[in-house]
Amino acid sequence: MIVSNFTVLEIFESGGEQTFQSHELRRNIASFEARLNPVTCGLVGVCMERSTDLICVVVVLLEKRVPFIFLKDKAEAALVSARWVFDGNQVGFCFRNS
């Protein structure tokens, strides 16, 4: 669990920016923990744009001690033998043809 205070600055392509305080990120992390609750083991393919949400997801996966890999699209999950794929909204189990 993250215990120190910190700030994350997100800069958007449009030139805008937004600052997130540690308590806001902790709230986001808790939300992603709930969504990633089914994941207990196996490689997780993460298919998300770069954002503060992605940072929160990485923190959750590191705390759960499950391996993960960044994907350009969900179809890559089978290529890297990912057991799970997470798109930022929901986690899905990957079925592979043997």
pLDDT tens, 11-65?
Answer: 777 777 778 788 888 899 999 999 999 999 999 999 999 888 999 999 999 999 9
Q: Are strands 84-86 and 44-46 parallel, antiparallel or unpaired?
A: parallel
Residue 95: count of CB within 10 angstroms of its CB:
9
Count of structural domains, the chain: 1
Gap between the Cα atoms of 20 and 34, Å rounded:
20
Range of the domain at 42: 7-93
pLDDT at 4: 64
Res 96: pLDDT? 63
Confidence of residue 95 (pLDDT cuts 50, 70, 90): low
Distance from CA of residue 71 to its chain's centroid?
Answer: 11
Task: Report if residue 1 sits inside a domain.
Answer: no
Those residues whose C-beta lies under 8 Å from the C-beta of residue 79, and which sit 6 or more positions away, are none
Per-residue pLDDT at 37: 95
Average pLDDT over residues 1-15: 68
- CATH number of the domain that residue 58 is part of: 3.40.120
